[in-house]
Amino acid sequence: MRVDVLGVGFDNLTLEEAAERGMELLRAEGPHYVVTPNPEIVEVCRENPAAREAVNGAALVLPDGIGIIKGAAMLGTPLKERVPGIEFAARLLERMAGEGMSLYLLGAKPGVAETAAERLREQYPGLRIAGVHDGYFQEDAPIVEDIRRSGADTVFVCLGAPKQELWMAKNGPDTGARLLCGLGGSMDVFAGTVKRAPKFWCEHGLEWFYRLCGDPRRLGRMMRLPLFLIHVKRERRKK
């Protein structure tokens, strides 16, 4: 049973429940993929049916962003809590490390995935890094083959939305991995090239504002946020 927010169905889970579910998917026959849409991505899905299909086709759809939580509540179908992709990833890595599982890192600018791999290895002893590749490639086939050869259990796909969702839907089965997670800018955070907002900002639902201050080029994309709220209000009136 998913909670519909403007055509995207969200799983109603806490962060811990989502991580547990991720592990269940990892133990089951694959492939499965996880997406973490924010309001901006929901707006992209409204305009792009292929993106919407890829997002809704995921085994887990997690609400990344306070806007989704507010939108779901306004529609009278509240979600339990915000499940930021990066926190989901951290919980999953703890569990994977405990079981000696392996991870392939795909995405971000050249060199970033390597740095992320080094840091994650230190942070999660027991975690095996199966391979890395940057996110600026022309053809899918060599990457898919590299992942397959690596034997990775999980792949973090950080290509930005909706590119990563489309990539996972299309290529997931051929990678041989059991779980793929679309995590946007998380690779930069793992590598330490981008800092997460301090706790205060996150707790007050202002992470988006912190990120905007650090990278004003995000403003154009963020104009989709007020649009999202307008669409939620319109939808609420229809109910």
Q: Which residues bind ligand UDP (CB under 6 A)?
A: 107-109, 135-136, 158-161, 163, 184-185, 187-188
> How far, in Å, CA of 61 to CA of 212, rounded?
24
Nearer to ligand UDP, 97 or 135 (CB): 135
Nearer to ligand UDP, 22 or 184 (CB): 184
> Minimum Å distance from CB 48 to ligand UDP?
15
Pairing of β 154-158 and β 179-182: parallel
CA dist 91 to 98, 124, 183, Å? 11, 11, 14
Contacts of 137 (CB under 8 A, 6+ apart): 143
> Minimum Å distance from CB 65 to ligand UDP?
10
Asked whether the beta carbons of 8 and 61 are under 8 A apart, the reply is yes
Nearer to ligand UDP, 57 or 160 (CB): 160
Asked whether the beta carbons of 25 and 59 are under 8 A apart, the reply is yes
Nearest-10 Cα torsion for 228, 231, 2, 158:
-20
Nearer to ligand UDP, 101 or 107 (CB): 107
Q: Which residues pair with 35 in a beta bridge?
A: 61
Measured in whole angstroms, the distance separating CA 173 from the mean position of its chain's CA atoms is 18
Return phi, psi of residue 157, to 5°: -110, 110
Nearer to ligand UDP, 101 or 175 (CB): 175
For ligand UDP, the nearest residue by Cβ is 135
Nearer to ligand UDP, 97 or 132 (CB): 132
CA dist 175 to 36, 144, 148, Å? 21, 5, 5
> Minimum Å distance from CB 198 to ligand UDP?
18
> Minimum Å distance from CB 27 to ligand UDP?
27
Nearest to 40 by CA among 161, 205, 167: 161
> Minimum Å distance from CB 239 to ligand UDP?
29
> Minimum Å distance from CB 155 to ligand UDP?
13
